[in-house]
Amino acid sequence: MFAIYWINNKSLCLGLPKGYGGLSVYELSEVDLIESSLNGKLVYFQNDGAGSGVYHWALIEESLLDDLLELDEIAYKRFLDILKSEGQLDDDFY
């Protein structure tokens, strides 16, 4: 999980399914959390009406969020490189 945010009283999160090519949105009430903590550098992002919440720093500071939701290949590769360099993903995660 690389973000948790709220829209219209719904708690949502962003995950990175292996082989999907970008971020996927999940409603927290519909997923089973394996680990209850978020790891890495996180930032609060105020986004009026469109998902204010806590995000992995690179999604905001490197402006990767929208591109990853739209399955942009360049943004995906960049985000994977960042996550691997932080030790959050194994080198064989593609």
The tens place of each residue's pLDDT in the chain, 94 residues long, gives: 899 999 888 999 999 988 899 999 999 989 887 877 777 899 999 877 667 899 999 999 999 999 999 999 999 999 999 999 999 888 887 7
In a domain? residue 49: yes
Q: For residue 52, what are the β-bridge partners? A: 6
Distance CA 10, CA 31 (A): 13
In a domain? residue 91: no
In a domain? residue 90: no
In a domain? residue 23: yes
**Domain count for the chain:** 1
In a domain? residue 77: yes
Q: By residue range, what is the domain housing residue 13?
A: 3-85
Chain-centroid distance, C-alpha 47: 15
